Amino acid sequence: MFSLRLLPKWMVLGMVVLCWAGPLNAGGNLCFPKRDYWPTLEWRKARPERKGMDARVLVKMAPFIKTERPEIRSVLIVRRGYLVYEEYFKDFARDYAQNTFSMTKGVTSALVGIALKQGYLRSLDQKVLDFFPEYITPDTDPLVREITLKHLLTMSSGFNKDDLYLKTTQEKIQQKIVHAPGTFFEYNNDVTDLLSPILMKATNSSLLDFAKKNLFDPLGITNAAWEIPSVPPFDQEPYQRASQGIYLTPLDMAKFGYLYLNRGKWNGKQIISADFVKASTQTRIKTDDATDYGYLWWVKPMAGHPCYFAFGRDGQYICVFQDLDMVIVITAAKEEVINMNLDIIGRFIIPSIRQ
């Protein structure tokens, strides 16, 4: 039987280092060290230098934020499973659950993955109209019949977003297609919201109840809220929007990012299939700028490292660096400078990494 003890020490050390850095194994999956705890109850803290980061670089970040990025509310860094940096600004409390806006889409993507794993959904190639046969009429655009769950997840349904604003599910389905499904990316909250009634029909549950049972509770997220709008068309179809509306604390945002960093596994349980997490966080469609799109996750290198992230209005970010075994959470409150918030990653966080 093969044993590591038969290998030279330098070779064993090299294998350990490579595994820690996150290479692909023969099956195309990242190799991770065994976690020595899970932050279900609370995050454990560690000094940055204990997790391969230089505190002398990180300590410069808070003064910079206070003078140059006053819109930022919090910055958290999880490295190798430990909270190595946690700062709040302008009296923003660590237990304050704020609106994550479109960061919600990342959670919705996770719920689709969970519904697939549990058999509520057959596949991502399942047609959207499979869930709404009652809305099909002779006038239904034939291309609408071709829209799949995958097209909703990649913002490539082909609908004109201006035609969907303040429309009910039935009214959306009756719209005409302007691009063949799967051929054109257009960021569209109203299309994403079609996933709400789909998941509700498939699971016989509200999005929040399904999320609590299958996602939030296992992660120890106890105070999440998901608002139901009262404006049209939600006064006719009351449901949580798949595109936005979840309230989370930054510490709970970090838990969600950590679940994805660990390929959907939490404390020995595979909450989301590793294949779905991997597929969700790779480029599935090109956008009209330098950022690509997965399944409701953005994909873009940062400071020379592969990264995928969930993003919400006003500058909310959950950034996952698989190769660095790191999750970064940034919350903020000023939409005009959202992209500038990310410069602290390249200016302070990445340069602080020593190993």
Distance (Å, whole) CA 314 – CA 81: 27
> Would the pTM count as exceeding 0.85?
yes
Domain edges within the chain: 1-31, 37-96+252-267+274-352, 114-226
Neighbouring-strand partners of residue 159: 177
Distance (Å, whole) CA 144 – CA 286: 22
pLDDT at 338: 53
68-94 pLDDT tens trace: 999 999 999 999 999 999 999 988 999
pLDDT at 336: 55
**Hey, is 85 helix, strand or coil?**
strand
Q: Does domain 114-226 have CATH number 3.40.710.10?
A: yes
Closest CA to 110 of 239, 249, 262: 262
Span 37-96+252-267+274-352 CATH architecture = 3-Layer(aba) Sandwich (3.40)
12 near 4, Cβ under 8 Å?
yes
Distance (Å, whole) CA 150 – CA 249: 29
Judge if 37-96+252-267+274-352 and 114-226 fold alike in CATH terms. yes
**Hey, is 305 helix, strand or coil?**
strand
pLDDT band per the 50, 70, 90 thresholds, residue 27:
very low
**Hey, is 186 helix, strand or coil?**
coil
